[in-house]
A = this chain, B = another copy of it.
Amino acid sequence: MKVLRLVIVGYGNIGRGLVETLAEKRSSLKKGGLDVKVVAVCEYSGCIVDESGVDLKRLLKEKPRWGKRKTLDVINEVDADIVVELTPGDIKSGEPGLKHIRAALESGKHVVTSNKSPLVVAYGELVKLAEDNGVMLKFEATVGGAIPVLNTLDRELKSNKARNVYGILNGTTNFILTKMLEEGVDFKAALLEAQTLGLAETDPTYDIEGIDSAAKVVILANSLGMDVKFKDLKVVGITGVTPEAVDLAKEHGYTIKLVGDIAAKEVSPRLVPLDHPLNVGGSLNAVLVDTDVAGEITLIGAGAGPRETSSAIMSDINAIAEKT
């Protein structure tokens, strides 16, 4: 039985979603020869540490009693294989995730993260840090939610060279554009509905201006070996998309989608034919990988959601388990 000891940093929606999945899948993972043991869970208020394994079911049931040890100390001191960094990040500084990931890699621990910001701010530095310390840095959950796009590229399409990757990388804007197409409402009405349903933040800037998609383009581009920074991108959001434009597109057999494009280094609303693989409705994400052998492969799935995202995190944990 292979044992992987996890430190989970960040116990918000995503962290809780992961703990739920780990609790649910504990016995099936063990049947597959893998014992995933959570030895610490950290929040800004403190950490719960138990090197014999935190009782996940109890953690989920009761109000957590956060101990006084600080996250960075726990990352440095606790005997663990993987630090799973799931805090929300500041897109400009990358913090607090950046210092967590640095500390984890420097102390010889693999890192799995759903946190885009540290990668957007310091991709090259972090990849080098991982290499220098002989550990893995995995971030499937930062791009495309539940869709295992990075690991599929890395493993199942290994003999392929990806010429480009582009697609719908933000579920909120896709929900809004789908509403506009299907119900003929304008941008504001569709945004309001997204907010009512909890699909858009009170301040929706990050999504509707294309910033979230752009962060994902940066990560995808770098994962393909390009040195692309946020400032290198041309970013246009969806606030200028009118019902008239949507109607006109529809009349000609098209829909309008916010597309992030690695090769073009841009995020912008684009016309997409109705039977094109990228025309997916609701809040789905869709990523098209243009490869030299397999041709165009598209992967579609939920772009967000704590449970769905935990699948991407598990994909990284399993990949580390197989390689170690």
Contact = CB atoms under 8 A, between A and B. Distances in A.
A241 interface: no
A314 B294 CA distance: 10
Contact of A146 (B275, B297, B299, B305): B297
Given A275-B274, A293-B314, A298-B299, A155 B155 contact: yes
Interface residues of A, number: 53
Interface string A302-324: 10010110111011001100100
Contacts of A312: 294
Interface stretch (A96-104, A116-124, A156-164, A261-269): A156-164
- Which of A32, A294, A307 has the most chain B CB atoms closer than 10 A to its own CB? A294
A281 to B, nearest CB: 4
A288 B126 CA distance: 35
Contacts of A297: 146-148, 299-301
Contact of A156 (B25, B151, B279): B151
Nearest to A291: B311
How many copies of this chain does the complex contain? 2
Contacts of A286: 277
A29 B302 contact: no
A318 B277 contact: no
A64 interface: no
A284 interface: yes
Interface string A121-161: 00000000000000000000000001110011001111111
30 contacts: A146-B293, A147-B294, A148-B152, A148-B157, A148-B297, A151-B156, A155-B155, A155-B318, A155-B322, A156-B315, A159-B318, A273-B281, A275-B280, A277-B277, A277-B280, A277-B284, A277-B300, A279-B279, A291-B311, A293-B307, A293-B311, A293-B314, A294-B311, A295-B301, A295-B302, A295-B307, A296-B301, A297-B300, A297-B301, A300-B300
Interface of A: 21, 25, 28-29, 32, 146-148, 151-152, 155-161, 178, 181-182, 255, 273-277, 279-281, 284, 286, 291, 293-302, 305, 307-308, 310-312, 314-315, 318-319, 322
